[in-house]
Amino acid sequence: MAFGLGGGEASAATLKPLAAESAWNSEPIFATAPPGDPRLFVVERGTTQGGAAIRVLKDGILQPTPFLSIPNVNVSSERGLLSMAFAPDYETSGRFYVFWIANGPDALDPGGVVGDIRIVEFRRSQANPDVAQPASARLVLKQPHSAGNHNGGWMGFGPDGYLYLTIGDNAARNNGQSLLNLFGKVIRIDPSDPDGSGPLTATIPADNPFVSTPGARREIFTLGLRNPFRASFAPDGNLVVADVGESSWEEVNVGNLTGRNMGWPACEGPCGPPDTRFTDPFFSYSHANGCAIIGGYVVRDPDLTGLTGRYIYGDACRGGLRTLNLSVAGGGPADPGIGIGGGEGLRSFGEDSFGCVYVLTNRNAYRIAAGAEASADCPYPADTLINTVINTGPTGTITTNQATFTFAGSPTTDTARIQCRINSEPFTDCSSPKTFTGLPDGSHTVNFRAEDAAGNQDQTPATRTFTVDTTIYKARIGRVKVSGPAQASKARNTTYRILVSNSGNIDATGVKLQVKGMGVEAKRGVGKIAAGKSKSVKLELKFRKPGKVKLTFKVTSSNAGGKSARKTIRVRK
């Protein structure tokens, strides 16, 4: 269902510039921070001369020396240096990842061409944490992309520790529905270099939804998107993807999007009539209210009364920002009364490690602050906050009724206890590892909340959402069919064939056949029956007495249950 803009009480929030407009080398287009780090890192899109940079705000001051300068960036159309993401273990590993569009070949990729989407790993300088090591660049993923627009451009680590990124459909509508390419998709990978061999090395998570689909790109997490320029993870762990529409509708897609098909190009906005192949957006609005959605974040800043807990986003064709409540049907759209100045164009949103939210335009970067008297710097120092991190545990779909997680508070030295819960039950004390058992089929959400010795709790508990489906991988004896004569002669062998089928999607093992009736008894091992296949068993039976004999052909197995068939035989003298 689609909704127009609703009413809503305007907040007292205001936009506080982070620096003078002249301090930026090119337009700010993304902002983020490492876990638990009080600094803010702002991505500058780049210039026509081919250079782009990542800048650091430290103690509220924009540092003159870039954290990292990146040459060979193409900024034509919608291209540029578009986003970055810090590894969850950045504090110790120094690893971070950058998403940009290349301007052609260079030393990093001598075979590259203009338009290549690059995901590149860098490392922080060991000598100075405010600068990176350009020489540490390692090409993790390259996707040739001929169109100047529909690049996608967002990247971020999920609650499961994997790297998610979005790529647009390359301005070719049908790409979104193809599993043979990465266009119009959300991608999910482990970008670390497991074998140390260097370029284009990453690991595909074993539970990615299409890892077993013949011919499919195994990196794909969600398909059927047009141009998912911006996305984020909500505090409850749900992925929120804002997808730019074509001529009619803009979308916000929310939830566990594992393997979901969002419908493009068959549907733009909600499908009409409904189509069970596709997942309708959580919220959509028509082009009477905008032209190109720019996704944002669920506000965690506790000072932003009226905005805290709501998803803030905007549109490239309107100066006013908008909010949604992602926990209620329809989103309860509201106008927060915040807008960018005339002559400025909205480019993106950002979020730091402590929940402050930022607005980025073609001219400047701003913090959404509680009022005119608030400072531009996020007011939450690192030493007063405690965070919770999920280290391991399932995501996506699992096929068992239990799930085990490991977790920790950060900083660990300040953590006094951790509490956990599942599916909104009350929090209780727990320790790592924690196993939740007896889980029914369906979606489940777990939360872990650290607390320090002073009683300060993590205000945004670590969250993981996963699905239990014990029906996915099952073997099942589906059919037992007996073929052979309905009449037989006493004391002579009569041949029967028994066809046993496995209607499940994994192999049936330990399959056995037993026949009984009126003095007749026989057993035969059938063995393994492949998923979706049948096996024929030949059996010789000898009847001792004349008359009507009722036989039961009973099939049993180790993992697929059992089934019986009956046949009546008239035995002659």
- pLDDT at position 381 is 62
Write down the pTM of the prediction: 0.71
Indicate whether 358 belongs to any domain: yes
Q: Is the pLDDT of residue 7 over 70?
A: no
Expressed as residue numbers, the domain containing 547 is 477-572
Same domain, yes or no: 365 and 387 = no
Residue whose tokens read 């009569």: 494
pLDDT tens readout for residues 532-546 = 899 999 999 999 889
At 413 the three-state DSSP class reads helix
Q: Could you give the percent of the chain with pLDDT greater than 70?
A: 96
What's the whole-number average pLDDT of the chain?
91
Return d(Cα 571, Cα 496) in angstroms, integer.
14
Higher per-residue confidence, 92 vs 198: 92
Residue 296: φ, ψ to 5°: -130, -130
Same domain, yes or no: 458 and 494 = no
Higher per-residue confidence, 268 vs 343: 268
Q: Is the pLDDT of residue 550 over 50?
A: yes
Indicate whether 66 belongs to any domain: yes
Number of domains in the chain: 3
Same domain, yes or no: 136 and 263 = yes
Q: 71 exposed, middle or buried (CB, 10 Å; 0-12, 13-18, 19+)?
A: middle
Return d(Cα 410, Cα 452) in angstroms, integer.
10
Residues 414, 90, 394, 300, CA torsion sign: positive
Indicate whether 8 belongs to any domain: no
Q: Which residues are within 8 A (CB) of 307 and not within 5 positions of it... i.e. 6 or more apart?
A: 11, 13, 299, 301, 323, 336, 368
Q: Which residues are within 8 A (CB) of 405 and not within 5 positions of it... i.e. 6 or more apart?
A: 390, 392, 393, 394, 420, 432, 433, 434, 435, 436, 446, 448, 464
Return d(Cα 368, Cα 45) in angstroms, integer.
21
Same domain, yes or no: 116 and 209 = yes
With CA atoms as reference, report the closest residue to 462 among 352, 388, 412. 388
Which residue among 409, 438, 468 closes a domain? 468
The string of DSSP letters for 20-70 reads: -GGG-SS-EEEEE--TT---EEEEE---TTS-EEEEEEETTEE-SS-SEEE
Q: Could you give the percent of the chain with pLDDT greater than 90?
A: 72
pLDDT tens readout for residues 137-174 = 999 999 999 999 999 999 999 988 899 999 999 999 99
pLDDT tens readout for residues 362-380 = 999 999 999 888 889 988 7
Return d(Cα 211, Cα 221) in angstroms, integer.
10
Token pair belonging to 226: 């047009």
Q: How many CB atoms within 10 Å of residue 442? A: 9
Indicate whether 525 belongs to any domain: yes
Residue 190 per-residue DSSP state? B
Return d(Cα 85, Cα 163) in angstroms, integer.
8
Indicate whether 374 belongs to any domain: no
Burial 213-243 (b: 16+ CB within 10 A, else e): eeebbbbbbbbbbbbbbbbbbbbbbbbbbbb
Same domain, yes or no: 144 and 293 = yes
Indicate whether 6 belongs to any domain: no
Return d(Cα 158, Cα 63) in angstroms, integer.
29
- pLDDT at position 385 is 61
Q: Which residues are within 8 A (CB) of 412 and not within 5 positions of it... i.e. 6 or more apart?
A: none
Same domain, yes or no: 455 and 483 = no
Q: Which residues pair with 315 in a beta bridge?
A: 293, 318
Q: How many CB atoms within 10 Å of residue 405? A: 21
Same domain, yes or no: 105 and 176 = yes
pLDDT tens readout for residues 497-521 = 999 999 887 889 999 999 999 889 9
Same domain, yes or no: 165 and 297 = yes
Token pair belonging to 80: 């540029």
- Cα distances from 194 to residues 54, 140, 191, 321, in angstroms, run 27, 11, 9, 42
Same domain, yes or no: 332 and 361 = yes
Indicate whether 114 belongs to any domain: yes
Which residue among 468, 491, 507 closes a domain? 468
If DSSP states are collapsed to H, E and C, what string results for 535-569?
Answer: EEEEEEEECCCCEEEEEEEEEECCCCCCEEEEEEE
Q: Is the pLDDT of residue 1 over 50?
A: no
Return d(Cα 272, Cα 406) in angstroms, integer.
44
- At residue 8 the predicted structure's pLDDT band, cuts being 50, 70 and 90, is very low
Where residue 241 sits, what CATH number does that domain have? 2.120.10.30
Q: How far from chain centre, in Å, is Cα 389?
A: 17
Burial 275-305 (b: 16+ CB within 10 A, else e): eeebbbbbbbbebeebebbbbbbbbbbebbe
If DSSP states are collapsed to H, E and C, what string results for 228-247?
Answer: CCEEEECCCCCEEEEECCCC
Same domain, yes or no: 315 and 196 = yes
pLDDT tens readout for residues 220-245 = 999 999 999 999 999 878 899 999 99
- At residue 475 the predicted structure's pLDDT band, cuts being 50, 70 and 90, is confident
Kindly state the average pLDDT of the residues 61-90.
Answer: 96
Q: Is the pLDDT of residue 4 over 70?
A: no
Same domain, yes or no: 462 and 481 = no
Which residue among 425, 444, 468 closes a domain? 468
* Amino acid at site 455: G
Same domain, yes or no: 301 and 447 = no
- pLDDT at position 77 is 97
Q: Is the pLDDT of residue 186 over 90?
A: yes
Q: Is the pLDDT of residue 457 over 90?
A: no
Kindly state the average pLDDT of the residues 119-128.
Answer: 96
If DSSP states are collapsed to H, E and C, what string results for 253-306?
Answer: EEECCCCCECCCCCCCCCCCCCCCCCCCCCEEEECCCCCCEEEEEECCCCCCCC
Return d(Cα 284, Cα 251) in angstroms, integer.
4
Q: Please tell me the chain's helix, strand, coil percentages from 3-state DSSP, rounded to the nearest 5.
A: 5, 45, 50
Return d(Cα 6, Cα 8) in angstroms, integer.
7
- pLDDT at position 480 is 93
- At residue 386 the predicted structure's pLDDT band, cuts being 50, 70 and 90, is confident
Indicate whether 376 belongs to any domain: no
- At residue 5 the predicted structure's pLDDT band, cuts being 50, 70 and 90, is very low
- pLDDT at position 565 is 93
- At residue 2 the predicted structure's pLDDT band, cuts being 50, 70 and 90, is very low
pLDDT tens readout for residues 423-451 = 878 889 999 999 999 999 888 999 999 98
N-to-C CA span, the chain = 75
Where residue 555 sits, what CATH number does that domain have? 2.60.40.10
Return d(Cα 368, Cα 348) in angstroms, integer.
13
